A and B are shown apart, each in its own frame.
Chain A
Amino acid sequence: MGIPMTPLEWGLDATVALLLVGLAGRILFTRDLFEATVLFIAFGLTLSLAWVRLGAANVALAEAALGAGVTGALFLTAFHRLARRGLAHPLDRQRYRADELHDRSSRGRADRGDDPKPALLDVGILHGPLWLRASMALAGLAVTGGIAARLLTLADRPPSLPILVEAHLAETGVSNPVTAVLLNFRAYDTLLEVAVLVVAMIAVGSLDRGSRAFVRDPEELEEDPVLDALSRLVVPLAGVAAVYLVWVGSHGPGGAFQAGALLAGAGVLLVAAGLMGPVTEGAAPIRALAVMGLAIFIAVGAGSMPWTGSFLAYPPGTEYGLILLVEAVLALSIAVVLIELFVDVPAVPHVDPALAKVDPTGDPLGRRISPDGAVIRNPDEER
């Protein structure tokens, strides 16, 4: 960038950079899960500021919606669920080793002579002596440092692709190079990214269903006027913004992924406020929407083959319309998949009833919790 920066911009950038490092460090080293969750959301928002400063408004938006919004909400849900089972104490190594949760379900391996240590991520080293962990950390730092050094000293050879993209931009039907790459030059990669989302949803769905602790009963709504009012205010705005993002994607920062993330955020709010049920139990057309992006993409790609002779090529003159159509359906699909991933959190493997306690902090969503950890309104939900 050739434009000199003002002292104010310097200060802003330095603050953002320092904040990022500080937050990341604090998240890694705090022993309080709730603090880590809140800091993670703050980290996501700061990161999106950094993207804004780098001139990537679309990435910033996606980061804010996905990194801070949806992911943060997922972490909050997970925390609240752990809290209800009396497992969300400040991280205490003796008690909170990852295998605590899983020991019960994995003890069977002991009889084969294997170590009974099937923790979530038990590489052994995590619980090893200090010198071992320290040397592993140093080795990791050395590798990372080496890679970073390589990156910084890369030969200054500007990739030739941006120039080629610029040269062919006029033929793509859109004037935003990002959209041109995503939906025309390398449309296949985008089609596959959508498939990745679908398969992630299927994978989550095929696991044991969560307790749906997050989904609220509509009758409960009056108990929480804030969430209700907020969602009535924010959701329509998010919907309008999503439509705008799809449309603007053809010539400026925006597009299906950002719009989908925004819609998903709105959807999560709706689910949280009890205004919308979980998608899996919803009407079939809504569930079908999740795979519709994939279907429309393949249909457009294959349907135009008689005219173009090539998969995923757009017949000349139709590029703009087709790209907009694909983007619009994609945005809906992405939103449904993200909401689905959010609502359908897989169950935490069975925990002994003895471990579950009355949540000392109270339920974040204001519901009453019975001593065995279930929501009173649906007593049979938990076990």
Chain B
Amino acid sequence: MNQIPVLIPAILLFTSFAAFFGGMIRLRWGYAATLLGVAASFLVSMAGVAHVIANGEIRYHLGGWAPPVGIEWVLDPLSAFMVAIVTTIGLLVVVYLPRSARFEIPGKEAFAYPSVALLLAGLTGMCLTGDVFNLYVFLEIAALAAYALLAVGDRRAPVAVFRYLVFGAVGGGFYLLGVGFLYFSAGTLNMADLAERLPELYQSRAVIAAAVLMVTGLGLKMALFPMHLWLPDVYNFAPSASAGLIAPIMTKVSAYAIIRLFLDVFHPVFLIEILPVTAFIGWLAAGGILFGSVMAMAQTDLRRMLAYSSVGQISYIALGIGLANPFGLIGGLLHMLNHALMKGVLFLIGGAIRLRTGLVEVPEFAGLGRKMPWTMASFTIAALAMVGIPPTAGFFSKYYLLLGSVDAGNWIFFAIIIVSSLLSAVYFFRVIEMIYREPEEGVISEPAVAAVPAGAMAGGGGHGDSLPPGLGGGPRHDDRRSGGARPPEEGGEAPGTMLLPILVLAVLILLVGIFNVLIVDRLLEPVVAPLSG
């Protein structure tokens, strides 16, 4: 049992090797290795959650070297919670991946499988490590794997991802510089040791600089407003499965790292009172919530709308950090789980729509409700959750955030949460309305849609200039260089391996909503305990 923390990333690292090796021989073997490995890591992380609830935390010393010489790994309620989110989304997307990848990025699957395993290894490692430098190394693994997965999208993806890479490198560099300052000030890299040694150094300007650098670096990585500039293009142009994997969990893990710094490296007092970082994050988050919602309303491309909505939703998590009281932080943490489920299912549904119809523009979605009933039912559940309607999961995280705002006496935050819920109701109900509308005569006769390349379709939202077909957006099926997504396949409901993860996620949104008290009591209450004391 006590090997759990090391098993999860080690399994995934080995999976990446097996997927690479298997994929060299036969694509199917590469996939089988990925599926098995990710499923195993999912099971182990569930065992980890059970273990933490029953027996408390595990501290693991790699190589038998106790810190500070060695690296320590910690499975506690917070890391168990995060790892469970990461591996759950990971497993579901791996089930979804091959069918979608065969359609959107044919010929690139062999690269995608090891990248997925490495991405999950990086993210789970970031959650489990108790060492600030080790966290940096995992951060880079996850980031590189994400660049690989995102850059294989349509023609514009490499440019968008290059920008992400530059932002990400700057963010990682800031974080590393901060780690250096901490090491020179306190002489250790271990989080628990740092927590012990830092209080006497709180007035040291090096430690203050370290805190600012680390939070700024991680803020860049989590796309904290206004450092979100890289995000919309990246999610927009990525393959659906990559967006469905990376949008739900990648930015959350950076947010987790900030929370970990806040609670377990620097004492909360330091970041609340001595250096009011949390208040600053809170106001940035408030701006991000409004900005993301307004921008999402302005989009017609579903993927772009979801990307801007991600900017707003990440800000909810940041708002939880900014409130820095028990209710607020519970709301932020719960929103990590909820948003992972909601945004995951929405991006996966986007991929399913693209597979069956080639559509990405919301105004052309009429009739989808009849064509893909189960997928659209899942979309409706996820959309209701995004708006925050009980009993879906999305309601409860917003509820805790509201309680946190009341506790903090911050009525502006309170108002912003309410207003942005209304805004998301506007843009999601617009989509729902379109889905269940009967198609107008001749607009969506299926053979006609299927015959038009997806790229021309994507640009069809009213651009009047003389771009040649295929430059408008979306993949061109005849484009050899972008790997060339194929023309949409005919058929109604999404294929089974894609529908299953969508349905599971939709059900999870309901279950998490109904049973959120269990999660809060068992896992999140202990996490926020330092704040109430």
Dominant secondary structure at the B interface? helix
**Given A108-B467, A150-B181, A157-B187: A308 in contact with B64 (beta carbons within 8 A):** yes
Within the complex, which residue of B61, B114, B152, B301 is in contact with A207, where a contact is CB–CB below 8 Å?
A: B152
Point out the residues of chain B lying under 8 angstroms from A310, CB to CB.
Answer: 60-64
Q: Is A91 an interface residue (CB 8 A)?
A: no
Q: B220 → chain A, closest Cβ, in Å?
A: 13
**Given A203-B148, A207-B151: A185 in contact with B301 (beta carbons within 8 A):** no
Point out the residues of chain B lying under 8 angstroms from A108, CB to CB.
Answer: 156, 458-459, 467, 471-473
Contact B115 A203 (CB under 8 A): yes
Q: B23 → chain A, closest Cβ, in Å?
A: 10
Contact A195 B118 (CB under 8 A): yes
Contact A298 B481 (CB under 8 A): no
Q: B467 → chain A, closest Cβ, in Å?
A: 6
Point out the residues of chain A lying under 8 angstroms from B108, CB to CB.
Answer: 206
Q: Is A155 an interface residue (CB 8 A)?
A: yes
Contact A298 B459 (CB under 8 A): no
Point out the residues of chain B lying under 8 angstroms from A121, CB to CB.
Answer: 162-163, 166
Q: Is B145 an interface residue (CB 8 A)?
A: yes
Q: Is A3 an interface residue (CB 8 A)?
A: no
Contact B69 A168 (CB under 8 A): yes
Interface residues on chain B, number (Cβ under 8 Å)? 81
Contact A206 B156 (CB under 8 A): no
Q: Is A350 an interface residue (CB 8 A)?
A: yes
Which stretch from A33-41, A69-77, A288-296, A361-369 is at the chain B interface?
A288-296
Point out the residues of chain A lying under 8 angstroms from B71, CB to CB.
Answer: 186, 188-189
Q: Is B65 an interface residue (CB 8 A)?
A: yes
Contact B145 A206 (CB under 8 A): no
Point out the residues of chain B lying under 8 angstroms from A232, CB to CB.
Answer: none
Q: Which of A160, A186, A313 has the most CB of B within 10 A?
A: A186
Q: Is A302 an interface residue (CB 8 A)?
A: yes
Name B144-178 residues within 8 Å CB distance of A.
144-145, 147-148, 151-152, 155-156, 158-160, 162-163, 166, 177
Q: Is A165 an interface residue (CB 8 A)?
A: yes
Q: Mark B283-305, 1 if CB is under 8 A from A, else 0.
A: 00000000000000011110010
Within the complex, which residue of A150, A157, A191 is in contact with B13, where a contact is CB–CB below 8 Å?
A: A191
Contact B137 A192 (CB under 8 A): yes
Interface residues on chain A, number (Cβ under 8 Å)? 73
When chains A and B are docked, how far (Å) is the Cα of A102 from the Cα of B160?
A: 11
Point out the residues of chain A lying under 8 angstroms from B61, CB to CB.
Answer: 310
Q: Is B373 an interface residue (CB 8 A)?
A: no
Q: Is B10 an interface residue (CB 8 A)?
A: yes
Q: Mark A158-191, 1 if CB is under 8 A from B, else 0.
A: 1111001100100000000000000011111101
Contact A298 B14 (CB under 8 A): yes
Contact A186 B70 (CB under 8 A): yes
Contact A150 B69 (CB under 8 A): no
Point out the residues of chain B lying under 8 angstroms from A196, CB to CB.
Answer: 137, 140-141, 144
Q: 20 A-B Cβ contacts within 8 A?
A: A104-B471, A108-B473, A110-B465, A111-B465, A112-B304, A113-B298, A120-B159, A150-B205, A154-B181, A161-B69, A186-B71, A187-B63, A188-B62, A192-B141, A195-B118, A287-B24, A294-B13, A310-B63, A311-B10, A349-B158
Shortest 4 CB-CB distances between A and B: which pairs?
A: A111-B463, A203-B148, A206-B111, A313-B64
B: residues with CB less than 8 A from A are: 3, 6, 10, 13-14, 16-17, 20-21, 24-25, 60-65, 68-71, 108, 111-112, 114-115, 118, 121, 125, 133-134, 137-138, 140-141, 144-145, 147-148, 151-152, 155-156, 158-160, 162-163, 166, 177, 181, 183-185, 187-189, 204-206, 209, 229, 233, 298-301, 304, 458-459, 461-463, 465, 467, 471-473, 481-483
